[in-house]
């Protein structure tokens, strides 16, 4: 299976030494009934304490302080390995709508912390471009008020962070599918709209995973579009596939006037990262 979302960290620095593990605020390992999360949005941060903010600006070089905009200065300082201790002290947040805080993120290790920092890099995308950050982890109740300036928001124990721009995804589709820029952009606009959700239910997690990882979905949507069919609805239901794991069927409906075509795939949502159990194929209902 080809993955659209590149999972390599888009940054030039990595944590080192033997202190890579960050002590989580809550214990994710012993959770009996994990509430998995797979959401799409934007990463942000704030200083939880005035002392932390003062230390940050004392650490920043004069050159960084003179840099505009502020986003570039923040990234310049945090992306230096010697300043990783500062990043550990920050309150990391996730926004489904830019500027509106929805979740507090607790990175599991320094690998995730580095990727949160990388998601702030203003050079990764044009200012007019759309940029996606995908967070995978577990919901662990509400954050403690002292963690983030009194905010009490759902806390996500963050196990994976993946970021990519609209332009990067578009170029990938152009290359893989041999289609035009406009065709690739139209596909992305149509399918990424499906990820406007909270990422907390198995249904949402399955859909979000397919949109960012499953090339066949784009190929089938494009092929149906050339025949005059447009994606009209997405349905999820418990799969008839039996086993010890949890499976969901995701059904994509394409419509052209009164004509309707359906395609179905089965997604395993048992773990924190879903995966395709049965590939996307045309679905014929038996009456």
* Cα gap 180→254, rounded to integer Å: 22
Say what the pLDDT of residue 73 is. 86
Do 231 and 285 lie in a common domain? yes
Task: Please say whether the beta carbons of 214 and 1 come within 8 A.
Answer: yes
> Which two structure tokens, joined as six digits, stand for 138?
């577990």
Q: Decide: helix, strand or coil at residue 224.
A: helix
What is the percent of the chain with per-residue pLDDT over 70, rounded to a whole number?
Answer: 84
Retrieve residue 59's tokens.
Answer: 């650490």
Same domain? 223 vs 168: no
Residues 31 and 160 in one domain: yes
Residues 165 and 206 in one domain: no
- Total domains in the fold of the chain: 2
Q: For 143-169, what is each residue's pLDDT tens digit?
A: 988 888 888 999 999 999 998 889 889
- Residue with token string 């963690």: 147
Which residue do the tokens 């309150």 mark? 91
What is the extent of the structural domain holding 273?
201-287
| CA 86 to chain CA mean position, Å | 24
33 and 142 together in one domain = yes
pLDDT at 26: 42
By the 10 Å C-beta count (0-12 exposed, 13-18 middle, 19+ buried), 174 is classed as middle
165 located within any domain:
yes
pLDDT at 24: 44
The answer to whether residues 152 and 33 belong to one domain is yes
In this structure, are 162 and 218 located in the same domain? no
Is 183 a domain residue?
no
Residue of 103, 99, 167 whose CA lies nearest to 136? 103
Last residue of a domain, one of 172, 187, 212: 172
pLDDT of residue 145: 87
Question: Per the domain annotation, does 269 fall within a domain?
Answer: yes
162 and 221 housed in the same domain:
no
* Consecutive H or E run containing 252: strand 247-256
Mean model confidence pLDDT for the chain: 86
Q: Do 36 and 167 lie in a common domain?
A: yes
Residue 14 lies in a domain: no
Please report whether residue 105 resides in a domain. yes
Same domain? 123 vs 232 = no
Res 253 pLDDT > 90:
yes
Burial of 132 (0-12, 13-18, 19+ CB in 10 A): buried
- Note whether 280 and 229 are same-domain residues: yes
Q: Is the pLDDT of residue 250 over 90?
A: yes
One domain for residues 31 and 162: yes
Summarize pLDDT for 73-85 with one digit per residue, the tens: 899 899 999 999 9
191-203 pLDDT tens trace? 999 999 999 999 9
pLDDT tens digit sequence for 4-40: 654 333 433 343 433 444 444 344 445 677 899 999 9
């Amino acid at each position: 299976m080809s993955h659209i979302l590149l999972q390599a960290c888009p940054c030039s620095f990595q944590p080192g030494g033997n202190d890579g593990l960050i002590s989580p605020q809550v214990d994710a390992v012993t959770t009996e009934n994990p509430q998995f999360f797979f959401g799409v949005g934007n990463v942000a941060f704030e200083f939880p304490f005035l002392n932390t903010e003062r230390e940050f600006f004392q650490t920043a070089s004069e050159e960084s302080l003179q840099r505009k905009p502020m986003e570039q200065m923040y990234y310049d300082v945090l992306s230096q390995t010697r300043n990783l201790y500062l990043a550990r002290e920050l309150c990391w947040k996730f926004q489904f709508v830019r500027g509106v805080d929805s979740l507090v993120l607790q990175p599991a290790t320094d690998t995730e912390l580095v990727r949160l920092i990388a998601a702030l890099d203003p050079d990764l995308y044009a200012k007019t471009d759309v940029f996606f950050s995908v967070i995978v982890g577990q919901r662990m109740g509400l954050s403690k008020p002292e963690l983030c300036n009194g905010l009490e928001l759902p806390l996500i124990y963050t196990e994976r962070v993946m970021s990519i721009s609209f332009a990067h995804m578009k170029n990938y589709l152009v290359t893989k599918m041999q289609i035009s820029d406009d065709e690739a952009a139209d596909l992305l606009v149509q399918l990424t709209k499906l990820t406007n959700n909270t990422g907390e239910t198995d249904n949402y997690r399955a859909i979000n995973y397919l949109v960012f990882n499953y090339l066949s979905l784009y190929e089938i949507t494009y092929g149906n579009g050339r025949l005059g069919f447009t994606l009209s609805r997405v349905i999820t239901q418990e799969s008839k596939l039996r086993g010890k794991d949890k499976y969901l069927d995701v059904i994509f409906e394409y419509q052209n006037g009164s004509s309707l075509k359906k395609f179905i795939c089965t997604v395993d949502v048992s773990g924190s990262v879903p995966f395709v159990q049965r590939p996307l194929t045309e679905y014929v209902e038996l009456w």
